[in-house]
Chain A
C-alpha cells in the first residue's frame, strides 16, 4: 500500500486482565472506505475507538504499540489529545445529538475552535446540513431541539456535526444499525461521496453493507486480525478458512 493514512503496529489493548486486541498490525489507506468486520465481541469497536483514543475513557484500559497517523504516534504524542480527536469525526451506533438546537449542534464544534461570527456559522451550518441531505427537512426549524428529530435525521445531523469540524478521517461504528432502510441507504451513499475527501473507517457486521461500500477490508476474530486486503481480493478470494466460513454465513 503506497499511501496509508493510519498505520497500526503491534497494538495490544487490555481491559483489566482481559486481552481485547491482540498484536494488531494494520494499514488504513487514505481516501478509501476501510471496513472492519467480524463477529460481535471480536474487538472491532475497540480497535476503532483506540484510533481517536476514546479508549482512554475506560478506567481499566491499558494500551501498547503504535498507531501512526500522518507520521505521528498518537499513543505517545505530547500533542493535545483534543487536536488529535478533531481530525476524526465519530459516528456512533446510535445518534447522540448534543442537548441543544439543531443549529447549535453543528455550530458547537466551530464555536469551540474559536470561530464565532454569526454569518460564518450560518453559512457553515447550511452547507453541512445540505451535505447530508437534511437541510430541506429542517431549514424552518433550526432553533428546535435536536432531540425532536427522528433517529434517522439525528444520525445524519451527527454526521454533519462531525464533518463541520473539518476532520480528515471519519470513524463510523455500525452507524446504520439503529436506522430504517431509507436512512441507512442515505448514509451509505453519503459515505461513497465522502471518500473523495475523507478517509473512512467503518465498523460493521452487515456483510452486504461491507460488500456494497468497502474498498479495503480488515477481518477480525477474537481480538486478532485474521485477514486484510482490498475488497475485491477479500470477497472473491479469501485465504483463511475462518474468513471463508464467515463469508458463507456459517457464523456471525
Chain B
C-alpha cells in the first residue's frame, strides 16, 4: 500500500510539473518566439523572442559537456585500468568527486567569478563554459566510473594476457564494453549543464544578442526564465514561460536521442 501510494504521489507530482509548465507556456510558443531575439531589451521590450537564449544555452551546454567528457573520460578510464592496484587512491578520487558533486552550483559560480575578477575577464561564453565544465565533471567522472567499475575482472585479465598495454586495455576493451553507460553519463551531465542557472549567473551574464565569439556574454534559457518571469510586463513574462517549455523539450529530445544511441551501441557489450 505504501509502495503504491509513493509511486502514485511521485508520478502524479512529476506529471503535474510537466503539465503545468507546458500548459502555461505552450500558448506563447510561436515561430517568432523561437527565431527572433528580444527587441527593446529583454526586461522591457514587448516584441521579439528568445532565440538568443536557446542558441546560447545550446552553445554553453554542448561546449561544457564536450569539455567535461574530454577530461572526465580519460580520468575514469585511468582510475579503473591504470590504478587498479591503488585502491586507496581510487577511493580517495571517488570521495572527492562525490564531495564536489554535492557542492551547490552557486558556489561554482562564485568560484568562477573570483577567478574572472583575478584575471580581469568579463562575463562571457568562455567563462561560463569553464565554470559549467567544472560543475559537471564530477557527475561525468562518477557516472562513467560506475559503469567501468562493473566491468568484470576477468575481462581485464583477458585483455592483458593477449598482450595489451594499459592504454589499449582502457580504450579498446573497457571503453567498448561501457559505451551505453558512457552515453548515459554524458546525458546526465548535459541535463545538469543546460538546466543550471546559479553557476552561470555571474560568469556568463545575459544579453539580447546571439554570441558570435567566446568572449561575449551569452543568454541562456534558465536565466531567461529567472530574469523575465519577475517582469511586470506580460509579454516579457510570456517569454519566460516559453523558455521553460523549450528547456523541457530540449531535455526530452536529448533523452530520446541518447536512449536510441545507447541501444544502438549496446550491440558489442558482453552480458556477463
Contacts and interface: CB of A to CB of B under 8 A. Distances in A.
Interface of A: 49, 52, 54, 56-59, 82-83, 85-86, 88-90, 92-94, 96-101, 108-109, 112-113, 145-147, 158, 161-162, 165, 171
B172 interface: yes
- Looking at chain B, what size class is its interface with the partner chain? 20 to 34
A49 B160 CA distance: 12
A85 B160 contact: yes
A96 B164 CA distance: 15
10 contacts: A52-B161, A57-B85, A82-B165, A86-B163, A88-B161, A89-B161, A93-B154, A99-B173, A109-B162, A109-B163
B269 interface: yes
A90 B161 contact: yes
B189 interface: no
A147 B159 CA distance: 16
Contact of A99 (B85, B153, B176): B176
Name the prevailing secondary structure of the B interface residues: helix
B180 to A, nearest CB: 11
B93 to A, nearest CB: 15
Given A57-B85, A90-B157, A99-B177, A147 B163 contact: no
A109 B173 CA distance: 12
Contacts of B163: 82-83, 85-86, 109, 112-113, 165
Contacts of B165: 82, 112
A54 B270 contact: no
A108 B269 CA distance: 16
A92 B84 CA distance: 20
Looking at B161, B268, B270, the one whose CB has the most chain A CB atoms below 10 A away is: B161
Given A57-B84, A57-B85, A59-B86, A99 B269 contact: yes
A98 B158 contact: yes
B154 A146 contact: no
B254 to A, nearest CB: 25
Given A99-B173, A146-B268, A147-B270, 10 more contacts: A57-B84, A90-B161, A92-B157, A96-B157, A108-B162, A112-B163, A112-B168, A113-B163, A161-B162, A162-B162
A161 to B, nearest CB: 7
A113 B164 CA distance: 9
B267 interface: yes
Contacts of B153: 57
A99 B158 CA distance: 11
A92 B270 contact: no
Contacts of B118: none
Contacts of B271: 147
A85 B168 CA distance: 14
Nearest to A98: B173
A15 to B, nearest CB: 13
A52 B163 CA distance: 10
B172 to A, nearest CB: 7
B90 to A, nearest CB: 10
A146 B172 contact: no
A85 B158 CA distance: 10
A93 B159 CA distance: 15
B155 interface: yes
Nearest to B166: A82
B156 interface: yes
A27 B222 CA distance: 71
B87 A57 contact: no
Nearest to B162: A109
Closest 9 CB pairs of A and B: A86-B163, A90-B161, A99-B177, A147-B270, A96-B154, A96-B158, A109-B162, A99-B176, A99-B268
Contacts of B168: 112
A88 B163 CA distance: 9
A132 to B, nearest CB: 16
A92 B168 CA distance: 20
B272 interface: yes
Nearest to A158: B158
B152 interface: yes
A138 to B, nearest CB: 15
A91 to B, nearest CB: 9
